[in-house]
């Protein structure tokens, strides 16, 4: 499937119009309901295959951010053969009390995986938290970059953002 065909399918399935409050606090007249592509195994695989092309050549693990990054990272793991971590917004207060689940060794090089990035607030928080655990992070990959400052905020942390689609490519 070409990137243009995939963009059309995503738009047909996931683009909603109305009034939506975003995680960033901004209000938007449209919304990309990512769970509609994340719950569709064919679309999810197509997106993950395109995302695999964006990953750097050298890294140890993927890090799927709660919640939307987890299914994408899982599919991406199947495609790349790289293990994945599931990263919570906050560490559990019971059991292992982990922020990142899946077993790991400090010092590993991660590629952070997210679904849709707007201002990248949670992505930046998660990168900082993961670095505090001893991980090396230089790359973030996402399905959709809404082009509202997230790429720049991620760059301020010394990371590169690569998106399968920018908002412009989906409109």
- Where are the chain's structural domains? 3-170
Q: Distance between CA 163 and CA 117 in Å, rounded?
A: 9
Dihedral (Cα; 16, 21, 23, 24), 10-degree rounding: 120
Give the domain 3-170 fold: Rossmann fold (3.40.50)
CA 110 → CA 14, 87, 119, distances in Å? 28, 12, 21
Instruction: Please count the other Cβ atoms lying within 10 Å of the Cβ belonging to residue 32.
Output: 24
CA 23 → CA 83, 105, 123, 166, distances in Å? 28, 31, 12, 18
- The pLDDT assigned to 24 comes to 76
Mean pLDDT, each 10-residue run in order, the chain (171 residues): 94 94 84 93 97 98 97 98 96 90 93 95 97 97 95 98 94 75
- Pairs from 34-42 (Cβ < 8 Å, separation ≥ 24): 34/68, 34/115, 34/116, 34/143, 34/144, 35/68, 37/10, 37/13, 37/143, 38/68, 38/71, 38/72, 38/115, 39/71, 40/13
């Amino acid at each position: 499937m070409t990137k243009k065909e995939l963009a059309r399918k995503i738009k047909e399935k996931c683009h909603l119009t109305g009034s939506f409050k975003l995680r960033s606090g901004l209000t938007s007249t449209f919304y990309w309901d990512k769970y509609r592509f994340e719950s569709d195994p064919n679309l999810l695989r197509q997106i993950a295959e395109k995302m695999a092309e964006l990953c750097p050549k050298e890294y140890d693990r993927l890090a799927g951010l709660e919640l939307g990054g987890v299914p994408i990272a899982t599919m991406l793991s199947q495609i790349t053969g790289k293990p994945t971590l599931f990263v919570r917004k906050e560490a559990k207060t019971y059991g292992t009390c982990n922020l990142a689940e899946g077993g790991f060794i400090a010092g590993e090089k991660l590629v952070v995986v997210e679904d849709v990035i707007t201002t990248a607030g949670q992505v930046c928080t998660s990168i900082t938290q993961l670095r505090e655990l001893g991980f090396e992070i230089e790359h973030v990959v996402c399905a959709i970059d809404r082009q509202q400052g997230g790429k720049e905020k991620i760059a301020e942390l010394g990371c590169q953002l690569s998106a399968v689609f920018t908002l412009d490519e989906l409109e």
